[in-house]
């Protein structure tokens, strides 16, 4: 008569369950996921690579808890109160580690939604702030994302912070990107002449793509302070081939525009002195 599973000694059954759990972990992680990882490495899409890494991270936890519940059942432990107690403990742990759990969930969303990929040049802008951090994405983990900024420093962002941030990705498109610079001229200046001089200076700047420089009148009003601006606000627009050169090219453009306006004797607005500073 064949031996039934229920006839086995509980400790023998426990050893079998542990062996099955280890065998399952080895087979899924060492065989199935390894082959899937090779297939994912042959594709240009990095989403499958990230999902496989996520599966590797969670596989051991899932198998461990599954084997634990099976062993408890073998030894006659009633699972209903255990699961209820585990649920209460899980809620308590979740409240205590809500930031960590938030980072992990945000990491999953970053991996699946893919607002950025490893190697992308991005600008991370927090809500309510004008400027954010520029850099290249080095790694997108479950809890943190590493970005090397333009100073060469590696910044580790919690994923929950990135989920609340505005992420501008400049690497999704392979074509040239447009850059803007703003400057003012006096109200007595000839706007046509000022625009021509500035556009010529921008076009002659190293790094600016040919035929992309243009000038537009941006505003006469200071929206932040609610009064007429000190001068006419102009905006220079041009395109560059490499976003990583944006800051350096922008600096050269502003220098060229300022020098050209001064050389052409186009009047610039005089800075206004606040009453508090004049006293």
List, in sequence order, every residue forming a beta bridge with 217; answer none if it has no partner: 234
pLDDT averaged per 10 residues in sequence order, the chain, 279 residues:
57 81 83 75 63 72 80 72 59 55 74 80 70 79 84 85 83 81 92 95 95 92 72 93 88 95 91 49
How is domain 115-169 classified at the CATH fold level? Answer: SH3 type barrels. (2.30.30)
C-alpha 207/C-alpha 252 separation (Å) is 9
Q: Could you tell me the CA-to-CA distances from 11 to 14, 39, 64, 95 in Å, in that order?
A: 5, 41, 17, 36
pLDDT for the residue 276: 45
Q: Match domain 5-96 to its CATH number in 1.10.10, 1.10.287, 1.10.1660, 3.30.1950.
A: 1.10.287
pLDDT for the residue 62: 81
pLDDT for the residue 250: 93
Domain ranges of the chain: 5-96, 115-169, 177-263
pLDDT for the residue 180: 93
How is domain 177-263 classified at the CATH fold level? Answer: Alpha-Beta Plaits (3.30.70)
pLDDT for the residue 96: 47
pLDDT for the residue 69: 77
């Amino acid at each position: 008569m064949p031996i039934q599973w229920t006839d086995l000694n509980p400790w023998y059954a426990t050893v079998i369950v542990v062996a099955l759990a280890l065998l399952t972990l080895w087979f899924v992680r060492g065989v199935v996921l390894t082959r899937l990882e090779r297939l994912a490495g042959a594709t240009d899409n990095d989403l499958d690579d990230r999902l496989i890494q996520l599966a590797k991270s969670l596989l051991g936890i899932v198998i461990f808890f599954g084997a634990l519940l099976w062993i408890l059942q073998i030894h006659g432990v009633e699972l209903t109160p255990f699961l209820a107690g585990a649920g209460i403990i899980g809620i308590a742990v979740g409240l205590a580690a809500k930031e960590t759990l938030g980072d992990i969930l945000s990491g999953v969303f970053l991996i699946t939604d893919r607002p950025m990929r490893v190697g992308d040049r991005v600008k991370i802008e927090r809500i309510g702030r004008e400027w954010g951090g520029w850099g290249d994405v080095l790694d997108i983990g479950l809890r943190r994302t590493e970005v090397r900024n333009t100073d060469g420093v590696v910044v580790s962002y919690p994923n929950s912070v990135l989920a609340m941030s505005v992420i501008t990705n400049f690497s999704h498109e392979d074509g040239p990107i447009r850059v803007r610079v703003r400057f003012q001229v006096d109200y007595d200046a000839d706007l046509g002449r000022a625009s021509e001089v500035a556009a010529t200076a921008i076009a002659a700047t190293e790094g600016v793509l040919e035929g992309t420089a243009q000038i537009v009148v941006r505003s006469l009003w200071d929206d932040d302070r609610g009064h007429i601006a000190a001068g006419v606000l102009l905006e220079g627009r041009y395109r560059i081939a490499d976003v990583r050169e944006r800051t350096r090219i922008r600096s050269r453009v502003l220098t060229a525009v300022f020098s050209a306006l001064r050389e052409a004797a186009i009047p610039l607005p005089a800075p206004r002195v606040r009453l508090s500073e004049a006293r």
